[in-house]
Amino acid sequence: MSATPLPPAEPVRLEQLVEYAPGAIVSRTLSKSAAGTLTVFAFDAGQELSEHSAPFDADVLVLDGEVQLTIGGQPVRATVGHTVRMPADVPHAVLAVSRFKMLLIMIRG
């Protein structure tokens, strides 16, 4: 997975960087380095990522729509403008309640 960097010194609407696709999850990696990754996702309604964990914290910034995250067995609903932290080594899952877009920020450290 290679990164598609953002143009320097130019404002960008993150939710416009990926388009919805019927029955799919679409992603675009904006930055990938030893320090972490920035990835924008578009989930069609009902699409999901099954439970998994990561060895570092991950932050979800909801750009459009509504998502249900399950973090350590606890459901967490989030909509546009919400940010949710998924702690390192805690199982989490993602379910698109409606079509939704997010910026996933993963920082190793």
The model's pLDDT over 42-66, given as tens digits with 9 standing for 90+, comes to 999 999 999 999 999 999 999 999 9
Q: Which CATH architecture has domain 25-107?
A: Sandwich (2.60)
18 residue type, one letter = V
Distance between CA atoms of residues 65 and 95, nearest Å: 12
- In order of 11, 41, 57, the CA distances from 30 in angstroms are 14, 11, 18
Place 1 in a pLDDT band, splitting at 50, 70 and 90: low
Rg (CA), the chain: 13
Place 7 in a pLDDT band, splitting at 50, 70 and 90: confident
How is residue 79 written in tokens?
């909509």
